[in-house]
A and B are shown apart, each in its own frame.
Chain A
Amino acid sequence: MNDRHIDVVIEPTRDHYEDIQLFTARGSWIKLALLLVVLVSLPLLLPGYRVFTLNYMAVFVIVGLGMNVLVGYTGQVSLGHAGFLAIGAYTMVLLMTRLAVPFPIALVMAGCVSAFFGFLLGLPALRLAGPYLAIATLGFGLAVTQIIGHSALFGGHMGLVVPDAMVGPFPLSGDVSKYYVIVGITFVLALGVRNLSVTRVGRAFRAIRDSEIAAATMGVDVAYYKTLSFAVSAALTGVAGGLLALMTGFISPGVFTFTLSLMFLAMVVFGGLSSITGAVLGSIVMGYLNLEMDAFQELPVLGPALEGFSARFMSTVGLPNFGWVVTGMLIVFTILLEPRGLYGLWIRALDTMKYSKSADAELSRSGSGAD
């Protein structure tokens, strides 16, 4: 095509950077500042043991970001992400114990090694789709824990104790100091994924999800971007694994189960596929449910009622399993009623609000017109 463009009236003042800018309006800076204030002050306001819960939820959020890249953007299924979490956790711990690598470098390496395995797992994804891919990734997740559980290097079924971590001269001893590291990293990674999603690579990922054939005819190397997506997703999950090791102080293959992989997949769907806000929300809720399975018993009125019901019809020892029922039901009803998940609900709420607001404005205008 030559450079002679057809004469058209060009909109004079469009600033194209606004399309992709991180914080567009003045209002979003205020929201960001608010969010930061909340994040910084949360551990100071909550009782100590809650900070552990926050850390756990933040780790889930990072996994959620990774799942969002793979499932939400690229449209590939994974039932094996607990495997990447394990790879990240073990890489970091082994580097720290065996080679005395400092924590920050070990954490980066955790992401890199996990990314490498993500790339390897991405290779079958080039030829497989839907249920076939699901099974292959599932097998991967199981294989990782099996291998870890049976090798002395990884501490076998007994697991490994995580050494004390330092960031420069500062030791990360308590939950609160770990909180600032973990949440800081989570925040930065979320911004990074958001940027990725609005630029060339993120767009190519989503193109593959919507139509592989059209993506290829646009010049997108589908094979390359599929494996890249697996690698990016695995890298994020590997970093999450390292941070999980940091916060719990102990890792064993029993942590990285198939159910955990299910949870990871479920939480991005529950939050809303292909939306970062959704992934974050879904991960927070599911992370909380996953850790605090018995939280329902502690609820003020419902707790005793639930206990009474359990004693009568179900069983009291089994009550902690109620959390699974709730998790499962949440997923089922999300898919049934609002396939876009929590994010979809949020959008709907906003739409309703906007609608009623503009209707209000409409009313008042017509009211004044009648004067």
Chain B
Amino acid sequence: MSFFAVDGLTMRFGGLTALDDVSFEVDQGMIFSIIGPNGSGKSTAFNCISGIYQPTAGKIYFEGEGISGLAPHHIARLGIARTFQNIELFSTETTIDNLMLGRHQHMHSGVWSGVAMLGRATSAAREETENRERVQWIIELLDLVQVRDRPVGELPYGTQKRVELARALAMEPKLLLVDEPSAGMNADERAEVAERMRELRAELGVTILLIEHHVQLAIGLADRVLALNFGKPIAQGAPEEIRQHPEVIKAYLGDG
């Protein structure tokens, strides 16, 4: 059984079929890219995996267990984290508080212990302090030290994208879903994003499922690529295969 697998995933919105019988498998430690023109169903696939949409048909397996139909917070607790194409941060909260939300599932304080946080030695205070220490390296890694205590709503777009990635990493996921990390960025920034993804995989060993509109970036990073068009899988394979695949070339020429 593979680490992560999607089998026959189909999602319909009324008359629109956003995903049509999509299947793929991801091995542990891989970077797996999903490419496709706008509206081809990539984000919808992520929404199905993370439990936000209930798929019309098909199954999703993570570490051998079926996870389709589970609520999003259950899926998160299994070790699947994600970022969103159109940033979904807690915009009035500071960077550190956003990251601390990533720690939510690893913490235990409830109402009573929270209310009774009266000194450094109380359980809630200890838990808070420990977890803040624990995410400090992520803050430094993603170059967020300057904005640690700033409300994220007022940060520039690129920084917000980094905060969102940091928040997902704070969850210490086994599988990381990244939706369009380089959207709206220039070539230099894109290169930086690519570098960061490689680094994360190399250093943390986290498996990455990557959606990228920018084909070169997606293919360059990936160990394996799935191409979608109008919700249908048109090609799947190693990066160099996909680069030359006639269907893929057609889809992108048609698009642009």
Contacts and interface: CB of A to CB of B under 8 A. Distances in A.
Q: Is A–B contact present in the complex under a CB 8 A cutoff?
A: yes
Interface of A: 1-2, 4-6, 8-11, 14, 16-17, 19-22, 192-193, 195-196, 198-204, 206-207, 210-211, 213-222, 228, 232, 274
B104 A216 contact: no
A11 B145 CA distance: 10
B231 interface: no
Nearest to A8: B140
Most chain-A Cβ atoms within 10 A of its Cβ — which of B77, B90, B107, B127? B90
28 contacts: A1-B205, A1-B206, A2-B204, A2-B205, A4-B205, A16-B132, A17-B129, A20-B125, A20-B129, A196-B111, A198-B117, A199-B113, A199-B124, A200-B104, A200-B107, A207-B93, A210-B93, A213-B72, A214-B88, A217-B51, A218-B73, A218-B102, A218-B105, A218-B167, A219-B77, A220-B73, A220-B101, A232-B111
Nearest to B75: A217
B96 A19 contact: yes
B97 interface: yes
B104 A218 contact: yes
Main secondary structure of the interface of B (DSSP, over half): helix
Contact of B90 (A1, A200, A207, A216): A207
B82 interface: yes
Given A10-B140, A218-B76, A199 B90 contact: no
Most chain-B Cβ atoms within 10 A of its Cβ — which of A4, A210, A219? A219
Interface in B156-207: 167, 169, 171-174, 199, 203-206
B204 A195 contact: no
B114 A214 contact: no
Interface residues of B, number: 60
B105 to A, nearest CB: 3
A229 to B, nearest CB: 10
B203 A201 contact: no
A195 B109 CA distance: 12
Given A20-B117, A195-B115, 10 more contacts: A16-B132, A16-B133, A22-B118, A195-B117, A198-B128, A204-B101, A215-B90, A215-B101, A217-B81, A219-B77
A219 B133 contact: no
B141 A8 contact: yes
A16 B100 CA distance: 12
B252 interface: no
Interface in B81-121: 81-82, 84, 88-93, 96-97, 100-102, 104-105, 107-111, 113-118, 120
A213 B24 CA distance: 25
B104 A204 contact: yes
Nearest to A14: B136
Nearest to B52: A213
B71 interface: yes
Given A1-B205, A11-B136, A19-B132, A220 B88 contact: no
Contacts of B204: 1-2, 4, 6
A201 B88 contact: no
Contacts of B84: 214
Contacts of A22: 118
Contacts of B82: 217
B125 A201 contact: no
Contact of A220 (B96, B104, B117, B140): B104
A17 B125 contact: yes
A17 to B, nearest CB: 5
A201 B113 CA distance: 10
